[in-house]
Amino acid sequence: MAETAILHYSTCMSFGLPRVPALALLCLLAAAGGCAVRPGQAPPAPDRASALAALRLSGRRLASLEAEGRFRVRVGGRRLPAFKGVLRWASAAGRVEELRLTGVGPFGGTAFDLLVARGSAWLFLPGEGAVYTGLPDGARPGVLRDLLAALVHPALLWRGQAPEAVPCPEGSAGAAAACLALPLSGPGGLAAVDGAGMVTALRLPGLRADFGDPEPLPGIGPYPRSWRLELPGRGLRVEVDLHRLEPNHLAPGAACFDPAPFLRLPTRPLAELLRGTARAGPGPGGAAGR
């Protein structure tokens, strides 16, 4: 596995609140840019055709989502305080072009604001009075859109192309109707799809994701409200529980995805922030606190 594609472990272990939730997502994206998985072919399952038809229907009909949520991050075996947030994303031409995750503090103020758009990222930390911009080391702009789609709406990845069935890895399929090769432009991976056409698990190099608690979206299909994202063996786990899902009312280029407000503040390289936390070593709740 290409270790250079994964952020240094101490980076993901040492950043402190309120940096943790936003940087955790960036670590997950960077970690998924590693080596390819080349599975073989799998025998057909009896209900595969209807499941794949539902999957592709969802990919065509769900183009954006806004949801409130509760987010929990575990770093180095220690669970950090949960926080509330708002997740927004919008797609175009079958790829997630823009994503925004805003963390809300205990008194309703912004704890952090992360925007991924136009092949880059902007992270606003109110306590530092600055915006960090760029991409984590190891994350490539050409792969970023596919990885975002794989996390927030994997069905988009099969718009316009036939799914390739592959064997389900042990422990990931559950009641899967099919396991599919992820058609990513960078790393390879697998997706498990249930009988209703919802992706219930992803397996990428360096990243494990499981989805559950489906909410039926009228005319679209089920969308998972429960996400469990993990870097196995690296001490990072993100748990997401969504509610108040609002589909298809955001469009690419909407005001909430405009980076202009971020640029009114002093900007610093995001890679510098990540390298700086790595040099600083583990802080409270980091590796030393395990």
Residue 107: predicted pLDDT? 77
- 147 against 254, higher pLDDT: 254
Among 31, 1, 2, which Cα is nearest to 274's? 31
List, in sequence order, every beta strand (DSSP E) within 154-251: 178-181, 190-193, 199-204, 207-217, 221-231, 236-247
| Helical axes 270-280 vs 20-31, angle rounded to 10° | 100
107-111, 225-229, 246-250, 284-288: least confident range: 284-288
d(CA 241, CA 253): 26
pLDDT tens digits, residue range 120-175? 889 998 888 889 998 766 666 666 777 788 889 999 988 877 888 888 866 554 56
pLDDT of 281 higher than 50: no
Phi–psi pair at 87, nearest 5 degrees: -110, 130
Residue with structure tokens 């057909």? 44
User: Between β-strands 190-193 and 199-204, what pairing exists: parallel, antiparallel or unpaired?
Assistant: antiparallel
CATH number corresponding to 3-289: 2.50.20.10
pLDDT of 240 higher than 90: yes
Is the pTM for the entire model greater than 0.85? Answer: no
Kindly state the tokens that stand for 248: 């298809």
